[in-house]
Amino acid sequence: PFTDQQFDKVLSVHTFYFWPSSARGIAEIFRVLKPGGMLVLTLSTGKIGEPEGTGLGRYQALLEEQVIPGMKRIGFNSAYIKQGPLARQYKTVAVVGIK
């Protein structure tokens, strides 16, 4: 395992879907980030034209209702969702957290 406060930045690109527990994953990232460190977590939140809340679209609600509030609870000074570019007919977002 990595030591506490070892990294300035953590980048996770399209891995969130495979985490057994988003809360534990975020907590572990928080632990290894230095003060002022940044997390950028990218993922797709659905296909363009797909009904909200179906398929990958369910991640948007999860991010808004659980992940962002959870990040703030564990101590991130800033946590927000930034809409990314459309890629191959998919909506992409970045979850950004600053410790």
The model's pTM is 0.87
In a 3-state reduction of DSSP, which class is residue 70? helix
What domains can be seen in the chain, in order of their start residue? Answer: 7-98 (3.40.50.150)
Listed in order, strand segments (DSSP E) in the chain are 7-13, 33-47, 78-83, 90-98
Q: What is the pLDDT along the chain (99 residues), one digit of tens a residue?
A: 899 999 999 999 999 989 999 999 999 999 999 999 999 999 988 888 887 777 777 888 889 999 999 999 999 999 999 988 766 788 889 999 999
